[in-house]
Amino acid sequence: MRGSRRQGGFTLSELLITVAIIGVLAVIGYSLLKSAPRPIDVASQVSSKLAETSRKAVTYGPVRGEVAAALGSTARTRAVFTLTSTGARISVQRLQEDLAPATTATWIEMSSAALNKAVLLSGYTTSANLTAGGAPAVPTTAGSTFEIHCFPDGTCDGTTIYLQSTNARRKAKVAVLPLGGTPMTFDVW
Q: Please tell me the predicted confidence (pLDDT) of residue 37.
A: 85
Buried b (16+ CB within 10 A) or exposed e, 66-104: ebbeeeeebbbbbbbbbbeeebbbbbbbbbebeeeeeee
**How many angstroms separate the CA atoms of 173 and 150, rounded?**
19
Largest CA distance in the chain: 112
Closest by Cα among 158, 140, 166, 152 to 81:
140
Q: Please tell me the predicted confidence (pLDDT) of residue 32.
A: 72
Q: What is the pLDDT of residues 56-115, one digit of tens each?
A: 999 999 999 999 999 999 999 999 999 999 899 999 999 999 999 999 999 999 999 999
For residue 16, give the DSSP letter. Answer: H
Q: What is the pLDDT of residues 119-129, one digit of tens each?
A: 999 999 999 99
pLDDT band at 9 (very low <50, low <70, confident <90, very high): confident
Structural domain boundaries in the chain: 39-186
**pLDDT(1) > 60:** no
For 39-186, CATH gives 3.55.40.10
* Cβ neighbours, 10 Å, residue 170: 17
**pLDDT(140) > 70:** yes
